[in-house]
Structure 1
Amino acid sequence: MIECKRILAVVDAERDNQPALSRAYELASKTGALVTAMMVVYDLSYDMTTMLSPDERESMRDAVTKEHAKWLSTHLRELGFTETDIVVEWNNRAYESIIYYALNNQIDLVVKATKKHDDLASVIFTPTDWHLMRKCPRPVLLVKEHDWPEGGEIIAAVNVGSEDDEHAALNDKLTVIANDYASLLKGNVNLVNSYPSTPLNIAIEVPEFDPDTYHDAVKNHHIKEMRSHALKYGIPENKCVVKEGLPEKVIPQVAETLDAELVVIGTVGRVGISAALIGNTAEHVIDELNCDVLAIKPDGFESPLTV
């Protein structure tokens, strides 16, 4: 079952309600976990004030964080979250504070509310959500305002077509976690796997290439591997979806059809230029979903912040 003793809920000062805290408390009520509310604040003007000495700037930052902590304490009481530890840190890179706190305080789950990002801004300024998915070694639950009803549908987004051992291990991990959440929420597990369309350039450049035969072979391979994987975890065939297309299209389509409450997805820690320009499947999927996403790292993942 889910090992969840400490949950870190990231507070957004721009929101009147706090979906991340609500979800964190919902999970805590089922697991007995302790919840810590964290707010990361920053104001460039304090660091740009050249007339102040470093000590004076530090004092001003301390005053600002204390003021935010006071506001947060009052806000939590107003929302009914009375038994919550409070952490307020000063950092212009919010994700760094979140990840370091999670690593240094044995946090089992990071919960953060999210929203759809502007595509252009997402390329130029990577949102905190994306940094957490790439770099946080702890599971990250990105919350949208969607209920978690009993008997709801939970999706594990697997890649059963790959013969790579790491993908197989991640498929196992995602399915186990989806089953754990299904037990916790009294929900149903669905496995979703996409497979690629026939490459048009091959069909054009190689006259003897038979696209129908190729398509059927790929489809049947994925169906066979899905059955084998599902059987291992006791998931019925009618809860398995194998569909042609890109995962960032297939997963949201299935999630909408099922009115899923949670999608469990694996993510890799891509960094640098490729991260800025390409992102990864989990990042593309999240903007298309109207439900929560639980981003899981492969076993052995180490955050680039700690290496």
Structure 2
Amino acid sequence: MNTYSKILVVIDPELEQHPSLNKAVHLAKQYQAKLELFISDYDPLLATSYLFDAPSLERATQTLHNRHCKLLERMADSIRQQGIETTCDVRWQQRPADCILDKAEESGADLIVRCSHPNDGQDLPFSHTDWDLIREASVPLLLVKHQPWQASPKILVAIDPMHTRAESIKLEQKLLGEGTALAEKLSGEVHALHAFDPSKLEMHIEAGVIRFPDTPGHIRELHKAAFAETIKQSSIDPANQHLLEAVPEKGIVDFAKKNSYDITVMGAISRSAIERVLIGHTAEKILEKISSDLLIIKP
């Protein structure tokens, strides 16, 4: 499990409120971590404007840079007064996700915290930059919403114990460990959830595709046994272990909302340099709709 020592906090200077900063400060106190406040201030309208010659563009970008530096320093001064070591940086780089990831690697950050951005005109909670970070970040990524955490935050770890690849099995254990450690640090409670949909199997059975003993009842027992086997090494209270019969992309979202979880922990599997991370259709549907903060963990 991760013990966070350096947290990179991505600040959007256009926002009036900064939930990513507030939550990162809380985490830094609990983990005794350092903070680095960061703005990727590339402005495509400014960069591609034909109204500026080269010297004028340089002055305009420098003015923007100075404004953002002052903003971060004001934030940092308040945080330093709380005893947290805090540094600041502002960079002009064309692709925001690359800018953030480059900074995380250079600074040795072991957690990236960012306020998730809605897509303009789309019914999705994440921007293109959010999705790029989800797929490409090599360190844990915490995407936060504007609602504050409860005094004792509720952490939901969503796992799929039916994986057969060694990398995936290892990831499930890591998710449980991360969720448990986070709950302990935040004086909260951790829950584990596995959702599966037996109705798809029933349709296949009716069509004559699945043969005995692969009946819905048998499949339910397989999921139950796999869930129990995966979670048995964790310290999660049995009362907080949930096996849910539902379409995962809907069941997990509804379950998290109904039970007021503050953070949902999910995994993403790295595949190759070309296809950097495969999230999966089901997981992407969950990510699109989840109302809680989201902690993405890689193997």
Both proteins in one fold, TM over 0.5 = yes
The letter of the residue matching 2:179 is A
User: Is 1:62 the counterpart of 2:65 in the alignment?
Assistant: no
Q: State the Cα RMSD in Å.
A: 3.3
**How far does the alpha carbon of each residue in 1:88-137 deviate from its partner, in whole angstroms, 9 at most, with x for none?**
111231111100000111001100112444685869x9521111100010
| Worse-superposed segment, 60-69 or 100-109 | 60-69
Q: Residue 215 of structure 2 aligns to a residue in which SS?
A: helix
How far apart are the structure 2 equivalents of 1:20 and 1:208?
Answer: 48
**How far does the alpha carbon of each residue in 1:171-221 deviate from its partner, in whole angstroms, 9 at most, with x for none?**
01101101111110122221111123334653343288579x621111111
Q: How far does residue 142 in structure 1 lie from its aligned partner after superposition?
A: 0.7
Cα pair 1:195 1:218 within 8 Å, conserved: no
How far apart are the structure 1 equivalents of 2:204 and 2:88?
Answer: 58
Partner of 2:104: 102
Cα pair 1:19 1:144 within 8 Å, conserved: yes
In structure 2, do the counterparts of structure 1 residues 273 and 196 end up closer, same or farther at CA, with 3 Å as the change threshold?
farther
How far apart are the structure 2 equivalents of 1:291 and 1:122?
Answer: 14
Partner of 2:9: 9
**How far does the alpha carbon of each residue in 1:222-257 deviate from its partner, in whole angstroms, 9 at most, with x for none?**
111111222211323321111123322122222123
Structure 2 unpaired stretches of 5+ = none
Matches within 5 A, 1:74-223: 74=74, 76=75, 80-82=78-80, 84-117=86-119, 120=122, 127-197=128-198, 198-199=200-201, 202-206=204-208, 214-223=215-224
Partner of 1:43: 43
Q: TM-score, with normalisation over the residues of structure 1?
A: 0.82
Among the aligned pairs, what percent are the same residue?
25
The letter of the residue matching 2:228 is R
The letter of the residue matching 2:216 is H
Cα pair 2:194 2:243 within 8 Å, conserved: yes
Cα pair 2:149 2:262 within 8 Å, conserved: yes
Cα pair 1:11 1:20 within 8 Å, conserved: yes
| Worse-superposed segment, 138-147 or 266-275 | 266-275
Q: Residue 189 of structure 1 aligns to a residue in which SS?
A: strand
Cα pair 2:197 2:247 within 8 Å, conserved: yes
The letter of the residue matching 2:160 is N
Partner of 2:23: 23
Structure 1 unpaired stretches of 5+ = 299-307
How far apart are the structure 1 equivalents of 2:287 and 2:209?
Answer: 39
Partner of 2:73: 73
In structure 2, do the counterparts of structure 1 residues 122 and 290 end up closer, same or farther at CA, with 3 Å as the change threshold?
closer
The letter of the residue matching 2:175 is L
How far apart are the structure 1 equivalents of 2:91 and 2:9?
Answer: 14
Cα pair 1:270 1:280 within 8 Å, conserved: no
| Worse-superposed segment, 176-185 or 39-48 | 39-48
